[in-house]
Amino acid sequence: MSDDRSNPSGAHCVLLTDEQKRVLLEKGTERPHTSPLNKEYRDGTYRCAGCGEALFTSSAKFNSGTGWPSFFEPIVGSVKTEEDLSYGMRRTEVVCARCHGHLGHVFEDGPKPTGLRFCINGVSLNFVPENNQSIAT
């Protein structure tokens, strides 16, 4: 069995928790204020929990007060957006550019310099501190 890290439903999927599978693969949403990453402010990189792709840096993180980790910009080329018409709303979904796992949504109510708020499910991310001593999920 191959370990296709470019697809979150690949063989490595067994490494994901049930909640990570629900969010990344089924486009679920974690409950607000439940992710420890919401209060993570060390220097480091936020990576896709599905494939390990670097998605956001701590320098782009801000406290949006929404209950989910929020960023004003991704690492260039790391995410893609898709129209999301679920639940009778028009939103912009954010997915990992490498594995297409669901990350969250982007809104146009963020801070300068971009004016964007990438509202990301914490379970879709793994945090790697700059000193790379340990990984927080």
- DSSP string of 34-68, one letter each residue: --GGGG--SSEEEEETTT--EEEEGGGEE--SSSS
Whether the Cβ atoms of residue 17 and residue 103 lie closer than 8 Å to each other: no
> What per-residue confidence (pLDDT) applies to 86?
86
Tokens of 2: 């191959």
Compute mean pLDDT per 10 residues along the chain, 137 residues long, and list them: 46 75 95 95 96 97 96 98 89 96 96 97 96 61
Domain ranges of the chain: 11-129
Give the residue numbers marked as catalytic. Answer: 119
> What per-residue confidence (pLDDT) applies to 4?
45
3-state SS record for 14-36: HHCCHHHHHHHHHCCCCCCCCCH
Rounded to two decimals, what is the model's pTM? 0.86
11-129 belongs to which CATH class?
mainly beta
> What per-residue confidence (pLDDT) applies to 5?
45
> What per-residue confidence (pLDDT) applies to 137?
55
> What per-residue confidence (pLDDT) applies to 133?
53
